[in-house]
Amino acid sequence: MPLSVKGSNPWQKSSGEAWVAPSLLACDFARVGAQIDAVLSAGAEVLHVDIMDGHFVPNLSIGPAFVESVRRYTDAPLDVHIMVSDAAYYVDQFASAGADSVTFHIEATDCPRELAQRLHGLGLGAGITLRPGTPADAILDVVDAFDLVLVMTVEPGYGGQKFMPEMLKKIETVSATLTGQQRLEVDGGIDPETAGPCRSNGANVFVAGSAIFRADDIPGAVRELRKAIG
């Protein structure tokens, strides 16, 4: 049965400028609507949603029902990162739930190009990501099929981890493989201090969870990150 999908590819609406993508995994789920309003009012361009299955990564987090709820609440682009073992199954699940773009791990599928084509056929963005231990050349044969590459700057599975500076070289390497129409996202320990070096090495979408949602002034935290990335 064909999926009923109303999303649109957010990466086609950008031209390489730096974007802030607050990670809803770090928000207060009892106040998620108010906190979404706070980050969007401060200028965040996209909302990042981290999905964990308890298998591909040791933690278990939110699922399609959460994305459906957020989709009903806001028209802001939803950038869904699925840290799951069965990427092919969950691509359809989150596309149907209201994602505008789905990013899956190169380590979790043997058909990345086909999944990217599936997402594009639904009018959605397609992203590919690498764990810190996976070399950049693992995606070289398929990177042309994607709108976005996500370089994890911590080991996926938990929020609040310390940024891994050794990932800066990978960011630079991946950046050199991308066209001006593709985006390079970073996620893990991103704050105003770590975002600047990532930007200098080619990143242009910045996922931040704890640095934003655990700040006393959430809109102010978005603005501080914006200053750091220009």
Active site residues: 50, 187
- Tell me, what DSSP letter sits at residue 177? T
In whole angstroms, what is the distance from residue 71 CA to residue 145 CA?
A: 26
Fill in the amino acid letter for 109. T
In whole angstroms, what is the distance from residue 2 CA to residue 211 CA?
A: 39
Please tell me whether residue 136 adopts helix, strand or coil conformation: helix
In whole angstroms, what is the distance from residue 46 CA to residue 174 CA?
A: 22
In whole angstroms, what is the distance from residue 226 CA to residue 191 CA?
A: 10
In whole angstroms, what is the distance from residue 150 CA to residue 185 CA?
A: 5
In whole angstroms, what is the distance from residue 207 CA to residue 65 CA?
A: 22
Cα–Cα distances in Å, from 132 out to 70, 179, 188?
29, 22, 10
- Tell me, what DSSP letter sits at residue 132? T
What is the separation of C-alpha 148 from the centre of its chain, rounded to a whole number of angstroms?
Answer: 9
How many CB atoms within 10 Å of residue 160? Answer: 12
In whole angstroms, what is the distance from residue 161 CA to residue 153 CA?
A: 9
